[in-house]
Chain A
Amino acid sequence: MLLSLLAFGGLAAVIGIALGVAAVRFRVEGNPLVDQIDAILPQTQCGQCSYPGCRPYAEAIASGDADINQCPPGGEDGVIALAELLGRDAKPINPENGVAQEKPVVAFIDESWCIGCTLCIQACPVDAIVGANKLMHTVIAAECTGCKLCLPPCPVDCIELHEIPQTTKTWTWPEPTVTPVKAA
């Protein structure tokens, strides 16, 4: 009796210490779920989800404050991926957050109208606009996420969104028309 008490007591102590050490030693910084959610989000940083960027929205989803259907740029595919990750049901994008953009777009500054006010530079979440005070600004097309945040601050409305034209490099094979599968 005493032996078994000692044996199990000792075992419990050893395992307890091991778990305690592991908890300190292999402590995970931050919430890995937030990273997983953030990896699915399109990183447009547009704020349409009502959070100031993709990461804050990911944090809100992880903590249960936000629903998974608030990201229009992510589209239906994004919602499905989030639903799979979180074990929830997919649902259509919440229209209050906006509608998904059909084709990828890029901001374009009409340089003949630009007055060099730097307001769009301050609004750009990914630093994709270059320029200086009273000097013409321009968009680095490769870095632009098409978030539209530069449109409202422009005092002369010289920024428009252009669809990214398709080239032979970006062209994709269309999906073949699905073969008719007859019921067995």
Chain B
Amino acid sequence: MFGRKKAGFPGGVVLEGHKLYGQAGRTRAAPIPKELVYPLEQHIGQAARPVVAVGDLVQRGDVLARADGFVSAPIHASTSGTITAIEARPVPHTSHLAATCIVLTADGKDTTRGEPLWPIPSHPEKLTHEQLIGIVREAGIVGLGGAAFPSAVKLNPKDTARVDTLILNGAECEPYISCDGAAMIEDAEAIVRGAGLLKTLIKARQVLIGIEDQNTQALAQMQAACKAVGDRCVFVKTVATRYPQGGEKQLIQTLTGLEVPSEGLPIDIGIVVHNVGTAAAIWNAVTEGQPLTERIVTVTGSGVQHPANLRVRIGTPIRALIDACGGYRTQDGLRLLMGGPMMGVDLADDNLPVVKATNCILAGTRDDLAPPPDPMPCIRCGDCVEVCPASLLPQQLYWHARAHEFDKAQTLNLSDCIECGCCAEVCPSNIPLVQFYRFAKTEIRVADQERRKADQARARHEFRAERLEREKQAKEEARRRKREELAARQAAQKAADAAAPDAPADSADKAPSPAVQAALEKARQRLQAETAQNAPSGEGDDA
């Protein structure tokens, strides 16, 4: 209720930050490990297709795998070395399953590809829209906020005339994560210049950069950078520190007052949102010709000795990051997460690689991530409704998901749930609400896929039945025609027989050639002679 007035979006919760903002400007480069692992599927959409073979020598920036389809992104080598395997390895995913990965053994020289993958423009602002999209696509840039959606797709609005505002998301709302904060302090100018470039090319009227008010240093740096760059259409906006302020739809609502329609996209209301880190990555790709091979990762939690933000080569094992931060403080009750405590992905172990979506490694102990107490029955207090930033009815959705009434959950707009976890956070009965929504969502997705597959099978089966019927009819038709032909021929013969009853049977159809006639005559004579000879002996035999 009162929350609606404070922030631009309804609901939300205020959480303790646990951020590393005090350490700003101290982002170190993590050491390059001996072995780097690149899952082919580290973005939303189709997995990339490998273009290297085992034994190939590569340099930093070389393409390892190409984008496969429109919503896909290529993957590049993040250091020099030899490809030693292309095989299934465990990947950082909630399923803890293995997926195909390219394994690169570093040679320690870290040489970079000589020529850039695309020509570096002397005046970036003179690039055409298509050229920029081409560079962003070739550079393998995906949303660095955690969702890893291919950025080129977002820059490709069908109708650029409809883009009014470009929003850069610097509202790092989830506790513990501070990589965007570090990027805004250290790469402020690249972010602002990248924003300006994107704005010109997608013909947006203005750029709004949303930063939470708790991150004072980033606010100051970004404002200074805006002044230095002198772009009058780029505005730094302070937003309230309130989870999930950094949610795409929530930030849009806070900054513009507009609401993204249900099941719609920001482009539907003329808005494009990118993460601040993504803007910097695009600027670096355009001006330096280098693809996305490293990113800032927050390594934090009370389980590590010295929490820090690190510049990490994509593919580095998580263990190496922990070691770079002084190792584990304790192993007791340790839980590894990729992302923050609200929406992070549980990791099975620390052998998993850093992917493009890895914004934070949270090594939490019981102090950070208390194991949830046993759930109790829902008391229908309605607290979850108050905090839901999507204005849904979490309690109803929970009942429907539990009762497997997925169609009812869908009519209550389950698909608009952003899985932020506010409802579960405030639930006095500790019900794992988000798990229920995720379960219901995947069940709906599976049912949808099955239905589509069944429709396809039905169409194919009906087509086959039709084809068999057609073939059968064609066969019958052929048979009937043959019969008719035969009947016609017989009828013709009969007619001919009737017309010339004296004529010999064989001459009814056609007159045999003289040679045949002669042969027939000879045969007849011989037959007659034989019967004449055989007649007496035959009688003798009988006697």
Contact = CB atoms under 8 A, between A and B. Distances in A.
Nearest to A178: B402
A143 B95 contact: no
A125 B465 CA distance: 8
A126 interface: yes
Interface stretch (B306-314, B453-461, B530-538): B453-461
A180 B402 CA distance: 12
B438 interface: yes
Interface string A103-126: 000000000000000000000011
Interface stretch (A16-24, A25-33, A40-48, A152-160): A40-48
A168 B99 contact: yes
Given A125-B464, A126-B461, A168-B91, A42 B450 contact: yes
Contact of B97 (A42, A55, A127, A167): A167
Interface stretch (B163-171, B174-182, B346-354, B429-437): B429-437
A179 interface: yes
Nearest to B442: A172
B457 A45 contact: yes
Contact of B438 (A43, A168, A173, A179): A173
A70 interface: no
Contacts of A172: 439, 442-443, 445-446
Q: Which of B376, B378, B461 has the most CB of A within 10 A?
A: B461
Nearest to A144: B457
A149 B97 CA distance: 32
**Chain A at the B interface: mostly helix, strand, loop or mixed?**
loop
A145 interface: yes
Contacts, number: 79
Contacts of B465: 53
Nearest to B39: A168
Nearest to A176: B435
B93 interface: yes
A40 to B, nearest CB: 9
A125 B91 contact: no
Nearest to B92: A168
Contacts of B438: 173
A89 interface: no
Given A168-B99, A173-B439, A175-B439, A180 B377 contact: yes
B70 interface: no
A178 B455 CA distance: 34
A167 B436 CA distance: 21
A143 B456 contact: yes
A30 B277 CA distance: 59
A171 B464 contact: no
A75 to B, nearest CB: 11
A173 B464 CA distance: 37
A145 B435 contact: no
A127 B328 CA distance: 57
Given A173-B438, A179-B376, A43 B457 contact: yes
A134 interface: no
A166 interface: yes
A42 B460 CA distance: 13
Interface residues of A, number: 30
A125 to B, nearest CB: 5
Contacts of B464: 125-127
B41 A43 contact: no
Contact of B457 (A145, A176, A178): A145
Interface in B87-117: 91, 93-95, 97, 99
A167 B97 CA distance: 7
A178 B399 CA distance: 11
Contacts of A136: none
A174 interface: yes
B227 to A, nearest CB: 45
A172 B465 CA distance: 35
B3 interface: no
A127 B458 CA distance: 11
Contacts of A44: 457
B428 to A, nearest CB: 13
Contact of B454 (A43, A166, A168): A43
A7 B125 CA distance: 82
A43 B91 contact: no
A181 B377 contact: yes
A152 B99 CA distance: 35
Given A168-B41, A168-B91, A179-B431, A125 B442 contact: no
28 contacts: A38-B458, A43-B455, A43-B461, A53-B465, A55-B461, A55-B462, A125-B461, A126-B457, A126-B460, A126-B461, A127-B460, A127-B464, A143-B456, A145-B453, A145-B457, A166-B95, A166-B97, A168-B95, A168-B97, A172-B442, A172-B443, A173-B439, A176-B435, A176-B439, A178-B402, A179-B377, A179-B431, A182-B377
Given A168-B93, A172-B445, 5 more contacts: A126-B457, A126-B460, A127-B460, A172-B443, A172-B446
